[in-house]
Amino acid sequence: MSEQSRASFGGKLSAILVAAGSAIGLGSIWRFPYMAGENGGAAFLLVYLICVFVVGIPVMLGEFAVGRATKLNAVGGYRSLSRPWRWLGYNGVLGALLISGYYYIVAGWSLEYMVSSFSGLYSSGVSFSEQFAQFQASPRQAIYTVIFILLTHLIIIRGVEKGIEKASKVMMPALFIILIIMAVRVAFMPGAGEGYRFFLSPDFSEAFSADTIFTAIGQAFFSLSVGMGCMVTYASYFKKENNLTSTSMSVALLTLMVAVLAGLVIFPAVFSAGLEPAEGASLIFITLPEIFKDMPMASVWSAAFFLLLTLASLTSTISFHEVLTAYFAEEHNLSRKVATRITSALSILLCMLSLMWVFDIDFAGIKIEKISCFEIFDYATANILMPLGGLLTCVFVAWWMKPDFLRNEMTNYGALKGRAYPLLRFALRYVTPLLIIYIFIKNLGLF
């Protein structure tokens, strides 16, 4: 695709908005509390915070640099800079494919909850965990998944990303506001204090397990949409005046704020309602209704929240759909329309696989009963493909490419001062990759 025919995002704010739109979504609001709940709460929060700064921001900057410098999709971008590195792009395409294989399912849950806020969620008298289980056992789950994929498809095919960009300007502040209202509301719930302790006061007497750090790094990659070419693809639509450094920092901070707010809402409510923080993937769907149920106009608040969560998920699904669509269109010379169709069809296929296939693993000493494709796709992307992609991005940007590459992209060829350049280059060369390697090795149990 020629440079002229490529769309570009508007100004500075748009760059931040679209990248934050990709980052902020189920990762911060659904996955973060679920992971924190299973991994010790406050300890997890602390490690996650460190990972966002030490790993997330440098890798995001590296991806921005590649995307804007080449103005190409993930595969084409790396390839045009150095042929063998196209494999890093393929890693991203595979990651986007696997994320598509389960993210839409959870997004569909949000859509269902928005609708059922008015139709029974609060009036059926059945416990919220029972209602969630019933929903998962019904065909509605698959239907909502497909609806979500079609919604994403329509937005991409109509090229109404601009509309989404505009909607984000209203949606994101609204999401913040409703989360703040909910955070204030839960503070008054009896027994909330236990939740704050769980989420905010780390227990240093217990050693941080390698597993906690591994999970937190994975969460940082996932929630910031880095390590899989998504930010390469998005930055390919950035303008040459955009300040990549401040954009990556703003996006990371906004995402972090949403995740922390989500934790401040969920954990007090979990303890107040006598639920388990390590509930797993259903955590927010059985906890949040507990907050709304005693509020005046419960259905309205609940529907408003799940609407915002649905929209936040939509700006994320658009972004990984776009990684695949841009790849098919540009690398296989297909029209955007056909590329979009292929991507959506693959997404439906993989999601159905995730919904239907549960099996046991008994291989090479690993025994896991009843594991689903859903869990495998999630684990493979967040804990393996994305950190691997992040590691290779560091090596590529800070070791393979000449120093000028990063400096030029960070300073916009001398127009900006780029004061953070030495620090970020140092991080990209040593700190970030070594941390990822260490964690990989540690987790494989090699020492």
Stretch that binds ligand PHE, among 23-31, 336-344, 364-372, 401-409 (CB under 6 A): 23-31
Query: Of 148, 271, 305, 320, which lies in the binding site for ligand PHE, with binding defined by CB under 6 A?
Result: 320
| Count of beta carbons in the 10 Å neighbourhood of residue 312 | 26
Name residues contacting ligand PHE, limited to 219-238 (CB under 6 A): 222-223, 225, 228, 230
Q: Does 343 bind ligand PHE (CB under 6 A)?
A: no
Q: Judged by CB under 6 A, which of 28, 212, 219, 299 binds ligand PHE?
A: 28
By CB under 6 A, residue 27 contacts ligand PHE: yes
Nearest residue by C-beta to ligand PHE? 27
Task: Assess 26 for contact with ligand PHE (CB under 6 A).
Answer: yes
Instruction: Examine residue 23 and tell whether it contacts ligand PHE (CB under 6 A).
Output: yes
Q: Smallest gap, in angstroms, from Cβ of residue 271 to ligand PHE?
A: 25
Task: Work out how close the CB of 143 gets to ligand PHE at its nearest, in angstroms, rounded to a whole number.
Answer: 22
Q: Is 308 in the site for ligand PHE (CB under 6 A)?
A: no
Per-residue x/- mask for ligand PHE, residues 265 to 294, rule CB under 6 A?
------------------------------
- Binding ligand PHE (rule: CB under 6 A), the pick from 18, 19, 22, 383 is 22
**Nearer of residues 256 and 273 to ligand PHE, judged by Cβ:** 256
Shortest distance (Å) from residue 396 CB to ligand PHE: 19
- 3-state per-residue secondary structure call for the chain: CCCCCCCCCCCHHHHHHHHHHHHCCHHHHHHHHHHHHHCCCHHHHHHHHHHHHHHHHHHHHHHHHHHHHHCCCHHHHHHHHCHHHHHHHHHHHHHHHHHHHHHHHHHHHHHHHHHHCCCCCCCCCCCHHHHHHHHHHCCHHHHHHHHHHHHHHHHHHCCCHHHHHHHHHHHHHHHHHHHHHHHHHHHCCCCHHHHHHHHHCCCCCCCCCHHHHHHHHHHHHHHHCCCCCHHHHHHCCCCCCCCHHHHHHHHHHHHHHHHHHHHHHHHHHHHHCCCCCCCCCCHHHHHHHHHHCCCCCHHHHHHHHHHHHHHHHHHHHHHHHHHHHHHHHHHCCCCHHHHHHHHHHHHHHHHHHHHHCEEEEEECCEEEEEEEHHHHHHHHHHHHHHHHHHHHHHHHHHHHCCHHHHHHHHHCCCCCCCCCHHHHHHHHHHHHHHHHHHHHHHHCCCC
Instruction: Tell me the two tokens of residue 299.
Output: 């259905």
Residues in the interface with ligand PHE (CB under 6 A) total 15
Which residue in the set 219, 319, 343, 344 belongs to the binding site for ligand PHE (CB under 6 A)? Answer: 319
Residue 263 is a binding residue for ligand PHE (CB under 6 A): no
Minimum distance, C-beta of residue 137 to ligand PHE, in the bound complex (Å): 25
Q: Convert residues 41-60 into a mask of x (bound to ligand PHE by CB under 6 A) and - (unbound).
A: --------------------
Does 316 interact with ligand PHE (rule: CB under 6 A)?
yes
Which of these ranges, 21-29, 75-83, 245-253, 439-447, lies near ligand PHE under the rule CB under 6 A? 21-29
Cβ atoms of 252 and 52 closer than 8 Å: yes
Q: Does 135 bind ligand PHE (CB under 6 A)?
A: no
Q: Is 116 in the site for ligand PHE (CB under 6 A)?
A: no
Residues of this chain that bind ligand PHE (CB under 6 A)? 22-23, 25-28, 99, 222-223, 225, 228, 230, 316, 319-320
